[in-house]
Amino acid sequence: MCDKCYETGLLVEQHFHGCFGIDFCNCSADDILLLAEKMLAHGIGGFFPTLATDTPDNIKKQIAIIKEAKARQTEDMAEILGIHIEGIFINPAKKGIHDTSMFMEPSIANYKLIEDDFIKIVTLAPELDKNGELQKYLTSKGIKVQAGHCVDGKLELCDCATHLFNAMGGVHHREQTTALTALIKDDLYVEVIADGDGVHLSNDILELIFKAKPKDKVILISDSLPIAESELAEMEFMNEKIYYDGTKATSKDGTIAGSTTILSKIVKKLALQHPDKFYEYAKMASDNPCQYHKITLKGKAFWNDKFDVIGIEK
């Protein structure tokens, strides 16, 4: 491909709400197919569209649209691997910009209002799930249970912590919290938004995560908004007006709404700081999510010495 280039597996994005101006919460199947085609060109070979807090009816509608897009996919697109449900079952105390008026108790009965066999990940607040009933039900269905937008440190029934440190109980020297348990529990995966500029995580916190966690348990994600890779300066998202200042996207009151950087560029940002760790970072965005979901994704991405994706092979 080139004299000085790097070869990695295709990346897997397991947590993002859209990009290229496309929002999974209100888009068409054609929109998703366009997004999937553009993502592949950025070295992202598979993804899990993430649906944020909404009414059960709207969630079901968008699930059907995502499944329609999946059925129409072609080889020149990143593969839709399943759906990530983030919201409705989370803790109001760590709501971020999610609309609390639509929150529901984490229960099997409420989950059945949106249940679908294409849901592969559910983010919820474990402390609100009575006796862990919903977590156990999801696990019995082969669905990954992730602790997010929560405060509790009892994560025995969880597979992963959603965007570690963001919208969760942080490290405390006398309390069991989500972030602390996620850091010290070696068999628990963690999602990490390393979008740079201290937007979601400072460099020191990233260093702490990379030192504390086994390298194969860290999954890089973008948590990107539709603003990413678009010319949008503002948008409506989860009944909030979101503003992009060129560095971060926030609600009117300054709450961070998600990232504005797609996954391949997150890998690039990390690698520019530590070029010798490029393959380590690339694995956190490719091999690790594949291991987590027990999937094999065929294909390769080629990167130049500035860590830009310059080609793919599928």
pLDDT the model gives residue 87: 92
Q: Rounded distance, CA 37 to CA 312, Å? A: 12
pLDDT the model gives residue 3: 63
pLDDT the model gives residue 190: 98
Question: How much is the mean pLDDT over the chain?
Answer: 97
Q: Mean pLDDT across the stretch 53-66?
A: 98
Q: What is the pLDDT of residues 187-236, one digit of tens each?
A: 999 999 999 999 999 999 999 999 999 999 999 999 999 999 999 999 99
Helix residue spans in the chain (DSSP H): 29-41, 56-71, 108-111, 133-140, 178-184, 203-212, 263-273, 278-284, 287-293
pLDDT the model gives residue 212: 97
Q: Mean pLDDT across the stretch 70-97?
A: 97
Q: Please determine, for residue 101, whether its predicted confidence score (pLDDT) is greater than 70.
A: yes
Q: Mean pLDDT across the stretch 11-22?
A: 98
Structure tokens at 291: 């291991």
Residue count (the chain): 314
7-313 architecture in CATH?
A: Alpha-Beta Barrel (3.20)
Of all helices (H) and strands (E), which one includes residue 120? Answer: strand 119-124
pLDDT the model gives residue 139: 98
pLDDT the model gives residue 132: 98
Amino acid of residue 155:
L
Domain boundaries defined on the chain: 7-313
Half-sphere exposure of 193 (CA within 13 A, CB side): 27
Percent over 90 (pLDDT), the chain: 97
pLDDT the model gives residue 312: 96
User: Is 130 in a helix, a strand, or coil?
Assistant: helix
pLDDT the model gives residue 64: 98
pLDDT the model gives residue 167: 97
Percent over 70 (pLDDT), the chain: 99
Q: Please determine, for residue 1, whether its predicted confidence score (pLDDT) is greater than 70.
A: no
Neighbours of 111 (CB within 10 A): 23
Q: What is the pLDDT of residues 158-174, one digit of tens each?
A: 999 999 999 999 998 99
